[in-house]
């Protein structure tokens, strides 16, 4: 009898876990209702989170469409959501002319764009492993890739601009920051926290690696020619300040 209940409970937990993962970040599509310069409104939805971002698509025909802008959610009230529109430069190509198309009513917006791909910033291997093992539906960019980029730039203290560039290079929509016993999913474009969760049973005795866990973090050094690029002294304090959290 105990084994039967244990099996049922295990299956229930497993199904809830899978449902949680699948509904963590679901892409939301809507039509721009009104557009006024760099502001637009769309229908609100529980899938919309303030601070989340996406793209605006313009359709030329049934088979042809293109990205014409980036969109970030500024506010929502249960009926409408207000989004900010900016040029989309992730695929910028200087050898081609820029599209002279601006967003207008009727164009499609897709929020939570590329939210199935994420960078990960964790202080230890344990934190990195715990997060990546839990969120198996997310395609994680290995921290070695981010560390190699910073090493090439002689930047041991990555800024918001550095993370924006890393997101663009790796085509990711999110950055996961493991700070103390919490995990923060941060939108790449707005750099706003869009999801927070608790990380319990983390080993506090393990020494944090700066600027974050990777197998090549020791190679991220400053250059005598760089100014203002210093090693991070306290991992948690640095990233708390960068994210603007207490």
Model confidence pLDDT, tens digit, residues 34-89: 999 999 999 999 999 999 999 999 988 877 889 999 999 999 999 999 999 999 87
CATH 2.40.30 domain locations along the chain: 28-111
pLDDT for residue 3: 40
Task: Give the pLDDT score at 210.
Answer: 95
Question: What six digits make up the tokens of 89?
Answer: 């430069």
| Helix and strand numbers, DSSP H then E, in the chain | 5, 12
What is the per-residue burial (b if ≥16 Cβ within 10 Å, else e) of 199-226?
A: beebeeeeebbbbbbbeebeebeeeeee
In the chain, where does DSSP find H-type helix?
2-22, 125-134, 143-152, 160-170, 235-243
Q: What is the pLDDT of residues 106-118, one digit of tens each?
A: 999 999 999 999 9
The token duo for 127 is 């934190």
Residues in the chain with pLDDT < 50? 1-23
Contact 171, 140 (CB under 8 A): no
Residue 101 pLDDT: 85
- Provide the whole-model pTM: 0.85
In CATH, 28-111 is 2.40.30:
yes
């Amino acid at each position: 009898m105990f084994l039967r209940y244990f099996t049922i409970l295990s299956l229930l937990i497993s199904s809830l876990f899978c449902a949680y993962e699948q509904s963590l970040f679901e892409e939301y599509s809507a039509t721009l209702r009104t557009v006024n310069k760099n502001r637009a409104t769309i229908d609100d939805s529980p899938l919309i989170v303030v601070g989340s971002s996406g793209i605006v698509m313009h359709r030329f025909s049934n088979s042809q469409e293109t990205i014409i802008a980036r969109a970030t959610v500024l506010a929502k009230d249960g009926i409408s959501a207000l989004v900010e529109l900016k040029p989309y430069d992730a695929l910028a190509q200087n050898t081609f002319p820029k599209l002279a198309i601006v967003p207008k009513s009727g164009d499609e917006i897709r929020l939570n764009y590329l939210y199935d791909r994420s960078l990960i910033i964790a202080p230890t291997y344990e934190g990195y492993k715990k997060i990546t093992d839990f969120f198996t539906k997310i395609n994680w960019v290995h921290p070695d890739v981010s560390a190699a980029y910073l090493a090439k730039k002689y930047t041991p203290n990555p800024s918001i601009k550095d993370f924006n560039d890393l997101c663009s290079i790796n085509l990711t929509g999110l950055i996961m920051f493991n700070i103390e016993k919490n995990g923060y999913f941060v939108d790449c474009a707005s750099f706003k926290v869009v999801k927070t969760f608790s990380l319990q049973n983390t080993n506090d005795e393990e020494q944090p690696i700066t600027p974050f866990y990777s197998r090549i973090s020791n190679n991220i050094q400053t250059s005598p020619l760089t100014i203002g690029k210093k090693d991070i002294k306290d991992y948690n304090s640095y990233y708390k300040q960068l994210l603007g959290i207490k």
